[in-house]
Structure 1
C-alpha cells in the first residue's frame, strides 16, 4: 500500500459525489478513478475531482490499481458490480443497502471471506454526534434498563422496482441503529400500506428485543424531508430517556421524575457536527485507519446482511399476518 491510499469510486450520482468529495479532500488519499454507467456521467463527475473516468471496471482496476473501491450505485443495482469487484480481489466500501436478496448477500460475504478482503458498508448514521452521545449515555447507565425504543423516518419517495424499496433501502438505517442502541431484535410484527403508488411505501413495525425491551418503527416514502423531526429516535429506560432529532440536529437527555433536561446541539463553531454528510467523513476516517492497520472494517458488510435479514422477517410477518422470529432468516 502506497503512502497515500489509492481510492476509486463507482457511481456518479448524488451520493457518488459525496464519496468522491470525501476521499478527494483527504491528504492521506488519492482519488484515482471514478466509474459510471455512461461515458458522459463518468467524465463529468471525474472532472470535478481530477480523477480518471471509466465505464469498464476491469480496465479501471488494471490501469489505476486502487487500494480501496467504494460502490454507490442505484440501490437495486449493487449485486453484479460488487460481486465482480470481490472476485477481482479488491477491498470494498459499499453503500447501503447491501443487496435486496439474502442469497446474494450471502454470496458476497462468502467471496469476501474466501479472499480475506476488507468489506465494509456505509451505515453512516452511527457516526452522527447525537447517536455517539446517546450510545455513551446508554453504556454509562444513565438511562437505566432499556424498556422501549422507537424509530421514525420518512420523506419523499425514491421510486424503484421493488415493492419494498422503502423498507430495504431506507429503513435499513433504522434496523441497524436500533440494534446498535438496544441490542439484537428477536422478532417483528408488521403492517404496510401501498395506497399511494403501488409499492409498500409506508411500514409500521412492532419489535421485540432479546433483552426484553420492545420497540416500534415507522418508515415512510409518503412524507417529506422538509418536515421537522422527519427522523426521530427515542430510547426510554427505567432511569431516563434519550431523544435524537433529525440524526444530527439535537440530542435530549432526561432523567425520570425530573422536569429539566440536558440538550446537546451543534454550536456556532460546530459546523461539522451539524452536517449529515459529515457523518460519512467521520466513517471514512475510521475506514482509512482500519484499512491501513490491516484490521476489519469499522462497519462490516455483514451489518448490511443483518438489516436485510430483519427486512425479510418484516415482509414475512406482513405476508403471513403473524409475528415472525428473525432467526428464521439467518441463512437464505
Structure 2
C-alpha cells in the first residue's frame, strides 16, 4: 500500500524529494506547498499534483495525507524547519525533515518531545549512510569483524581553494558564522554515530583562511574536531567548506578501525575496503591487501532515493518509534554535537560534553 505524501518547501531540495517519490512504488505524492506561489505552481504542474500556498490549507484540504515532508530551508539551511514540522505533527501527521533538524537546539528538543507526545513518526534526512558501502560496512561491524572500536576518522566537506572562492550573497548564509557547522556537520556526525555509537566528549579547533577574512566573511569554515565515544573509542572529524581541495579519499571518506579489522568508505557511495587484523600482520612497511567492494557508481543523489524509501518502509510497516531509521532522536543527537562544537570553539577549544539526550521510554505495544 502506498503512503500519501505532501511536501512543504519547493526549492531545490523539495523538487529533488518530489522526483524521488515519483519513482518510488511506496510513495503517492498528492500535494505540494510553498509560500512562494510560483514555486508551488511549477512543482504541481511538473509532478501532476495539487498546489497549496499555506500548510494549513494543504492539511485541511488533503486530510488523507499521512506524511508531510518538510524541505524548507532558511538561515543556516534550517530556520524554517521547526514551525511547519510542529504544525504537521499537531495535525497528527508523520513528518520527515531535511537536515539539520532545526536551526535552534531548543526548538529541536521541543520538536522531538512533541512528536513523541503525539505518537507520530519523526524522521530526518540523514541520507549519507543509506548506501550500499555503508550497508556492507555495517555487516563488518555487526559480524564482529571490526572488534572493539579503536578510532574513527571522518573527512567530509567541499573541494575549493581561494581561486574558487566567492563571498556568499544569500542572507541565509552571509553574516552567519556557524553556517557550515549547522548546515553540514549533521552529515559526518550522523555517520560516525551510526557506526560508532554515542559521543560523550567534543573539542574543536576551528577557524577560517585569510582570503575569507579579507573578504569580510564571518563563516567559521575549517573545523578540526576531536571526539570520544561512549564505548571508549576516539574519533577525529575534519570538515571544511571549499577552502582547499581534498587529497586521498576525496570529499567524503570514513575509516573505522577496531581490534580485529578496519574499513574505509570512499566517496560515500563508491566503495568500501576492509583490512583484517590477522595474526602476524607486518607492523610497518609492507601493506596489508584489503578486501575491496566497488559498487561502480559516484551518483551521490541516489542516497536521497534510498533514505526516503527507508522512511516510507518504516511508516508502512509501523515499526516501533525508537526503531525508525534516522529518527528525530538521532537527528537531535547530532545537533547536540554540533552545538557542543560551537560551544567548544567559543571557549577557545575547551573540552565540552554534549547535552544529554532525552531518555528512551519504549512502546508498550512492542515491548513484552
Conserved? CA contact 1:312–1:329, under 8 Å: no
Distance 1:223 1:48 in 2: 37
Shift of 1:145: 2.1
Residues 1:6 and 2:37 are matched in the alignment: no
With normalisation by structure 1, the TM-score equals 0.90
Conserved? CA contact 2:26–2:313, under 8 Å: no
* Stretches of 4+ aligned residues off by more than 3 angstroms: 223-228, 328-331
Which whole-Å deviations, capped at 9, do the CAs of 1:58-97 have from their partners, x for residues lacking one? 1111112211110111123212222222222211111110
Match of 2:238 in 1: 218
Match of 2:304 in 1: 280
Which whole-Å deviations, capped at 9, do the CAs of 1:37-67 have from their partners, x for residues lacking one? 3111111122111111121111111112211
After the TM superposition, which residues 281-296 of structure 1 pair with which residues of structure 2 at under 5 Å, given as runs? 281-295=305-319, 296=321
Shift of 1:225: 8.3
Residues 1:323 and 2:351 are matched in the alignment: yes
Match of 1:188 in 2: 202
Match of 2:325 in 1: 298
Which whole-Å deviations, capped at 9, do the CAs of 1:229-269 have from their partners, x for residues lacking one? 111111122232211111001111112326211111124xx
Residues 1:241 and 2:268 are matched in the alignment: no
With normalisation by structure 2, the TM-score equals 0.82
After the TM superposition, which residues 126-275 of structure 1 pair with which residues of structure 2 at under 5 Å, given as runs? 126-155=129-158, 159=173, 162-195=176-209, 196=212, 197-223=217-243, 229-256=250-277, 257=281, 259-267=288-296, 274-275=298-299
Distance 2:228 2:111 in 1: 29
Conserved? CA contact 1:97–1:169, under 8 Å: yes
| Unaligned segments of structure 2, at least 5 residues | 161-167, 282-286, 359-368
Tell which structure's C-alpha radius of gyration is larger: 2
Aligned length: 323
Shift of 1:224: 6.9
Match of 1:48 in 2: 46
CA distance 1:81–1:225, change in 2 (3 Å): farther
CA distance 1:34–1:224, change in 2 (3 Å): farther
Choose 274-283 or 313-322, whichever is displaced more. 274-283
Distance 2:110 2:58 in 1: 23
Match of 1:68 in 2: 67
Distance 1:239 1:314 in 2: 31
Conserved? CA contact 2:150–2:258, under 8 Å: yes
Conserved? CA contact 1:313–1:329, under 8 Å: no
What's the secondary structure of 1:77's corresponding residue? coil
| Unaligned segments of structure 1, at least 5 residues | none
